[in-house]
Amino acid sequence: MGVFERMEQDGHEQVIFCYDKVTGLKAIIAIHDTTLGPALGGCRMWPYESEGAAVEDALRLSKGMTYKSAVSGQNHGGGKAVLWGDPKTDKSEDYFRAFGRFVQTLGGRFITGTDVGTEKSDFVWSAMESPYLVALPEEHGGSGDSSIITAYGAWRGMKACAMATWGLDTLKGKRVAVQGVGKVGYHLVEHLVDEGAVVTVCDVVPENVKRVKETFPNVASVPPEAIYDVECDIFSPNALGSVINDETIGRLKCRIVAGAANNQLREPRHGDELYRRGILYAPDYVINGGGLIQVADELLGYNRDRAFRKTAMIYDRLLQIFDISRREGVPTYRAADKLAERRIAKVGALSRIYVPE
């Protein structure tokens, strides 16, 4: 499929190919939909096996950001940048300054920051060439560690799931299996323990589990592969994507799947299967929206209290989604898409009202 065919398939507006012969920079910026406002999305750096793989990643991720921004109530569209390079060997000041200049050519149509393979410090260089960077280090005007607010939003989302499932939003006494206790997962465990949940954790990095158990002695742990077999009320993926798949879905012993990992469903049909089995799924791009809310708030002049108030509303968004799912008889992942699409359509229709320049 050609690039234009692929853009037409998912409704992308623009794809920009950027090359700098001095630094070797190869960047692709994909802008999916700017109905709600300028495109916002991270910049990923990865040694893709082919140009086609890099393009596909940019297109797929930018569409996801449109939905994530819309459903979280932000006035932003979806975009994504990918840098075709090795994050271990190809980074330099001139490389990221070149990228910043390409971002600047878009005049604010695209705003970006960290993603897989990039760090906040990389974009200090980019910010020398463009103001359209977010998630910078705090000493450079950024809002700081987004894992704290992401975990807070995931915790609020779990409480909404509890309300929808049991009629009470308390997690006290609920058994929660937490897959991945890195930055976000660790802070999520803090919230769960504070509320009195019974927590079991795993992580492929033993040091992460050790840290949790030293801080929270009553937390249990299992090997990473065993987490799917833990008898629990809530299964919480907070690490890799595609963990809900043909191999794992039949092993789950839970009523709810709710966690901060991206792209938890390997394929949409796995969301259908959760729905068929009566397992309530909190769509990942909704429940993990705290980080996006934080960096979007930077553009207003970051206010921590305001960002956390907005993130707390993930609870309300999920209840809306669960209501749509019940009323329309669709899986929750599709209900989330419907909520996002309806907001985009309604706000887009406002253009019928003429506003003089």
Contact 41, 78 (CB under 8 A): yes
> How many Å apart are CA 152 and CA 135, to the nearest integer?
18
Catalytic residue among 68, 80, 120, 159: 80
Catalytic residue list contains 21: no
Contact 67, 140 (CB under 8 A): no
3-state DSSP assignment of residue 26: strand
> What are the start-end ranges of the H helices in 35-146?
51-71, 93-105, 122-126
3-state DSSP assignment of residue 82: strand
CA 8: distance to chain centroid?
A: 24
3-state DSSP assignment of residue 24: coil
On the CB side of 213, how many CA atoms lie within 13 Å of its CA? 12
Q: How many CB atoms lie within 10 A of CB 318?
A: 28
> How many Å apart are CA 187 and CA 165, to the nearest integer?
24
CA distances from 180 to 161, 183, 256, 260 (A): 20, 9, 17, 10
Strand intervals (E) in the chain? 14-20, 25-33, 39-40, 43-46, 77-84, 110-111, 175-179, 198-202, 220-221, 234-237, 256-257, 280-281
Active site residues: 80
